[in-house]
Amino acid sequence: MSYTKPSTMDKVADTILGCFSVFAPSEFTDHLVRYLGTWSGSDKLFAIIEYTLKLLVPLLNKRARFRNKVYSRQGTTSSAAARVSKLAGTISDSRTLWRFWGLLTIIKWMISLEHNAQPTRKLLNIERLQGWSMVGYYPLEHLSYLVSHDILPSRSTVDLSPFLTKKSRLELNAGKLGLWSVRCWAFYVALQFAHLREDRKLLQAKYHALRKAGLKPAEKQEIQKRWHAYWSDLLVNVINFPLALHWSTGSTLIKHDSVVALLNLIVAVMSFRSGWIATALPSPASVAETTDNVVEPVAENVTAYDA
């Protein structure tokens, strides 16, 4: 087989068009694409960006006021802050729109609950209640979104002539719909504390059982992962709870928007990190050592409301 020496044009093409040959295949890039290819992964990334921008806005305005005071520059507000705030609002609006199929996930989850054995009856009922709280959350949020964007009329005439002598007016208030939506989510967050308590009991029981039988390295590693996931979920829920109370009371509990943005940013970062760990491919060594005595996975949070 004869070898043809590449022409000058081939070399130019390889240099320009094939410039990505200098980069080696990366597991990090593969992992990033795999995680961001999921709805949860992309949502958490945009949540991090959104709340980072919301924290940046007051800093930009503060800088503008400082420059006005010290250097007598015109304007006490930052034009950059206005643009950053607009971008953050667009991301928030988009994330709400992307949640429109979230109810399908809840329905699938609730069906799975009834057709698969659960560790305890108490845990089953907790998750049932959580599922029903989300059945209330999503439609109310969707209606609030559609009404606030003038896609659905805030007032419409409903013909109740079979029951009443005249037609009645149905009023949809975007603010009230959003308020009751987040109250449904607040109920979910409160139930999550009970859920985590049951998770803790199951993890402790599983650990003691495996310890008596002789804890293997793979089992010990799996137990550590489950405990790490448990503490992460607990911390996320502890932060979500004051946010849920804040929005459920008409955004009156937390006085500063920056505090709300900071709490949401912490939740977004921790949730992103948990999802990143969950979507990591197992190492060949851990796959080889895997046995049937693996701790049952702890149920993860279904959703989180973002104002």
pTM of the model: 0.82
Residue 217 has pLDDT above 50, yes or no: yes
Task: Give residues with Cβ within 8 angstroms of 141, minimum separation 6.
Answer: 96, 99, 177, 178, 181, 305
Question: Please, which contacts does 97-103 make with residues 24 or more away whose CB atoms are closer than 8 Å?
Answer: 97/145, 98/39, 98/43, 99/138, 99/141, 99/303, 100/142, 102/134, 102/138, 102/303, 103/134, 103/135, 103/138, 103/139
Check residue 231 and give its pLDDT: 95
When computed from its CA atoms, the radius of gyration of the chain, rounded to whole angstroms, is 26
Check residue 167 and give its pLDDT: 62
Structure confidence by residue, pLDDT tens digits, 116-163: 999 999 999 999 999 999 999 999 999 999 999 999 888 766 565 565
Check residue 235 and give its pLDDT: 96
Residue 54 has pLDDT above 70, yes or no: yes
**Contact criterion met (CB below 8 Å) for 154 and 170:** no
Mean pLDDT of the region 273-286: 76
Instruction: List the one residue out of 296, 288, 297, 299 whose CA is nearest residue 216.
Output: 288
Residue 165 has pLDDT above 60, yes or no: no
Mean pLDDT of the region 53-63: 93
**Contact criterion met (CB below 8 Å) for 264 and 243:** yes
